[in-house]
Amino acid sequence: MLRSPANRRLVRAINRSMVLNVVRESGPISKAEIARSTGLSQATVGAIVPSLIEHGLVSESDPTVTGIGRPATQLQLDRDSYNVVGLKLMEDRIVGAVTDLEARTLGQSELPVAELEPASIVEAAAEVVDDLLQISGLRRERLLGVGIGMAGVIDTNRGLCRNSPFLGWRNVPIGELAEARLEVPVRVDNDVNTLALAERWFGVGQQADDFLLITLGRGVGLSIVAGGNVYRGAQGGAGEFGHTVVAESDELCSCGNRGCLEATVGEPALLRRAQELCIARDLSSPATAAELYAAAIRDQELANLLVRAGEHLGRGISNLINLFAPALVILSGEGVVAGETLLGAVQTELDVRVHKGLQDSYELMVEPLRDEAWARGAASLILDAVFEPPTRSRSVPLWEWDSPP
């Protein structure tokens, strides 16, 4: 069985992925060092490297003397050989970024949208891609693909948006539509999963195989990384943390249920309750979440509102830690600028509610987020397809879908 052509192809693909990732992580590096790091023979490494060079993923530097014997040629990732684009779809705009193979942002673009029909969004996405390539001076033939991140339940394998309340979409084959229009490979995922991929490959997630990434903003998002892989569940439905119930409440959520975490700590819910508090006291109401957070510094009732939100969020995160035992919890999103009033309440709940056996096993990290980070995360969908280890169902890497340009 192990000698079947399919298994031989898979083994070769796995070996090639190992070599590429060692070069990415440790380059400049010699073939001998790659062999020691991967456990592969020098002959196997020597057979793999020319293909990576041919495809433009790896480049050679001048030989360097490392000791007795012939100087060793050094190999490194050719980060400028290809580019990828990431798009974050929102109900009022599309934010895009173009990056190199190390997820360094080379250009950014943003386009307001008024029409949310899928065909209109795809045309707007194509306009953003064209703009990104123009402002960055990059060649379209070097574009490996486009990653799309969006809120909702996304079936990544099928490129299908099963449900996105913010866009009002159900069962929209956005990946297929975008790929037909853009004429490059397209991958689609939940936007929080794309952030987790960026952290896994290029951020703090490189140091933790098991971590949670939670976003706080208009909604409450979650990505679960277990064993180095994003857990998506059946048909992409995992991670709907905002629609778990942490307290009895009559607050109606956008999903139609009552008492969801999102209806308690999401920015629209906080703004609505803050406005009610201000109207009852004949005070001017905050119009944005940023105004609310600023007003809470000098208004005790608004501060109490944020404390209660932090308590609910902290209970929810405690449940996640007790379930998944992550090494790292990243709290991110636009809402973390609420500051110590909300985040202090989160930490207090974690100190009380996380199981005693787990309290010393995780680190909580707070990362504020800008729109560009969402787009860079979406670009990581394509980078993930370049660097992720192959499987039986996907043994051909993205960069071999077409012959080298």
In single-letter form, the type of residue at position 92 comes to D
Residue 202: which pLDDT band, with cuts at 50, 70 and 90?
confident
Confidence of residue 403 (pLDDT cuts 50, 70, 90): very low
**Interatomic CA distance for residues 284 and 278, integer angstroms:** 6
Report the C-alpha dihedral over residues 378, 382, 384, 387, rounded to 10 degrees.
-150
Q: How confident is the model at residue 231 (pLDDT cuts 50, 70, 90)?
A: very high
Cβ atoms 228, 209 nearer than 8 A: yes
Segment (H or E) for 133: helix 118-136
Query: Given this model, what pLDDT does residue 321 score?
Result: 98
Share of the chain above pLDDT 90, in %: 68
pLDDT band (50, 70, 90) for residue 394: low
Contact 249, 258 (CB under 8 A): yes
Please choose, from the candidates 303, 289, 151, 155, the residue with its C-alpha nearest in 3D space to the C-alpha of residue 220: 151
- 77, 57 in Cβ contact below 8 A? yes
Of 234-238, 254-258, 350-354, the range with the lowest mean pLDDT is 254-258
> Is the pLDDT score of 1 beyond 50?
no
CB under 8 Å to 23, separation ≥6 — which residues?
Answer: 29, 34, 52, 58, 75, 76, 77
Distance CA 234, CA 262 (A): 22
As a whole number, the mean pLDDT across the chain is: 89
CB distance 32 to 72 below 8 Å: yes
Q: What angle do CA 178, 180, 185 make, to 5 degrees?
A: 70
* Structural domains present in the chain: 5-77 (1.10.10.10), 83-184+373-400 (3.30.420.40), 206-369 (3.30.420.40)
Cα distance between the two ends of the chain:
36
**In the chain, % of residues over pLDDT 70:** 93
Residue 66's pLDDT is: 58
Handedness of CA 281, 283, 289, 293 (dihedral sign): negative
The pLDDT of residue 27? 85
Sign of CA dihedral 188, 193, 194, 197: negative
**Residue 19 in contact with residue 40, Cβ under 8 Å?**
yes
pLDDT digits (tens, 9 = 90+) for 289-304: 889 989 999 999 999 9
Pick the residue with more confidence: 395 or 326?
A: 326
Copy the structure tokens of residue 92. 């009022």
* Pairing assessment for the beta strands 363-368 and 328-333 based on DSSP bridges: parallel
| pLDDT at residue 402 greater than cutoff 70 | no
**253-263: pLDDT as tens digits:** 878 788 899 99
Amino acid at 49: V
Annotate 15-39 with three-state secondary structure. HHHHHHHHHHHHCCECHHHHHHHHC
